[in-house]
Chains A and B, each alone.
Chain A
C-alpha cells in the first residue's frame, strides 16, 4: 500500500501488486493473502507485524521468492519473480536477497567463516576473494576473533551475527529477517536489532522483517500490519512515536 509519496518505480526495491494466495487444505481452500499491494522503498527498514495465521509469513515468503502467488506479481528490483525459471530464481536468492532466520540456520558442519563464504561459493566468487570478504563481514558484525568457530561453539547472539554477515555476503538489495530475535533473550535481541539498524543506516541495505517483537517498532521506518490476509494499516514511525511508551509497557 503506497503511502502518499511519489510513486517513481526505481525508488522501490520491492513492489507487491494485487497478490492473492490460496492454499488447498483437504477440500477447503484457505485464502492466506487477499489482494495485497505494497511498495517498499530502497534503504528503508520495514517491519511486517501481525498475529500468527494473519498471512504475515506468506507475504514474507512471497517477497523472499520462496513461494509464488496464486495471482498477482511480486517485483524485486523491477524483476517479476513469477517470470523466472528455477536457475534464475536461485541467482536472485543468491545475489539479491539475504536471509536471516529465527533459528539462525547456520550450516552446523561449517565454521563461521565457511558459513559466511557459502553464498559467495554459490555465486562463483573465487576462494581468495570470498575469504577476504568473509573476514571483513565477520569483523563488521563484531566476530573478527571467532572466524573458525563452529556454530555449536557460539552463543545464540553470536550465531545470529554470523547469519547477518552471511546475509550480506553478495551485497543483496534486501535483507529478509524472519523473527530475528525470536530465539534470543531480551538483551541479545536488542543488540541484534541495533546491529541491523546500524547496517541499514551505514550500508543503506533495505531490511524487511517479520516480527512479533515490539522492540523492532522503535527502529522501523514503517510498520505494516497484516490481518486476515489483508494489509490493515501502514504506519510511519513518526506516527507511532506517541504510542511507543504504551507499547513498551505492554511488552515489559
Chain B
C-alpha cells in the first residue's frame, strides 16, 4: 500500500481485497495441525460412517452371487441401505456439532481476525476448508479400513483367489463414491457453523469471560 502515509493524508477507503484460497488453506491446515487430536475425533465420526458404507458395498463384491428374487435377500439389502444412510447422517451431525463447538470456542479468534481485516467470506472459507480436509482424509482412511477388513476376512475364508476377484476399477469407483459422499456430508454439515462464524461480530474479540 504505497499510497498510504503513516500519519497524514491517507488514501481513500477501498473495498478490502479478496484473499487467494491458498491463504485460507494455509491457516486451515495450521488449525488442524495444532488441534490434531480434536480433528482426529471429529474425523473419526465420518471415517466410521464411510468405513461402514464401504464394508456393506464391498462385502457384496466378494460374496457368491445371490438370487435377486429371494425376498429375504431383498429385505436384508433394504435394511442395510437404511443402516448405512442412518450412520452417514449420524456422522454428519457429529461433524456439525464439533464445528459448532469450534465456532463457540474460537469466538475471540474469529472476532480478532475480523478486527484485523478479515472478510466474512474469508471466515466461511476457513471453516469449509477445515472440515473439507477432514472429510477427504476421513474418507480415505474409512475406505481402506472398510475395504481392508472385508478383504482380509475373505482372504482368510476363501484363500488367494480373492486378490484378483474384484477389478481395481471397481474398487477405485468405490473410493470415489466414498470421497464424494464424505465431502458432500462435511460440506452440508459445515453450512450452519460457517454461517454462525461469519456472523460473529468483530467486537466479540473484546469480550472478557469472567
Contact = CB atoms under 8 A, between A and B. Distances in A.
Contact of A94 (B112, B117, B206): B117
Given A99-B115, A107-B112, A205 B16 contact: no
Interface string A78-108: 0100001111101111111101011101011
A151 to B, nearest CB: 11
Contact of A90 (B27, B30, B109, B117): B117
B108 A103 contact: yes
B21 interface: no
Nearest to A204: B7
Nearest to A110: B30
Interface string B10-26: 10011111010001000
Nearest to A89: B16
A61 B202 CA distance: 10
Contact of A119 (B17, B35, B117): B117
B168 to A, nearest CB: 39
Interface stretch (A19-27, A165-173, A225-233, A235-243): A165-173
B34 A108 contact: yes
A171 B4 contact: yes
Chain B: interface residue count, which band? 35 or more
Q: How large is the interface on A (under 10, 10 to 19, 20 to 34, 35 or more residues)?
A: 35 or more
B133 interface: no
Nearest to B202: A66
B114 A61 contact: no
Interface stretch (A30-38, A122-130, A141-149, A153-161): A122-130
Given A87-B16, A88-B13, A93-B202, A66 B115 contact: yes
A43 B7 contact: yes
B30 A57 contact: no
A205 B7 contact: yes
B201 interface: yes
B34 A61 contact: no
A178 interface: yes
A247 interface: no
B114 A90 contact: yes
B118 interface: yes
B117 A61 contact: no
Interface of B: 1, 4-8, 10, 13-17, 19, 23, 27, 30-31, 33-35, 108-109, 111-120, 122, 201-203, 205-206, 208
23 contacts: A42-B8, A66-B115, A86-B119, A87-B15, A88-B14, A90-B118, A91-B13, A92-B13, A93-B116, A95-B117, A101-B206, A103-B108, A105-B205, A107-B113, A109-B27, A110-B30, A119-B116, A121-B23, A166-B116, A171-B1, A171-B6, A178-B206, A205-B7
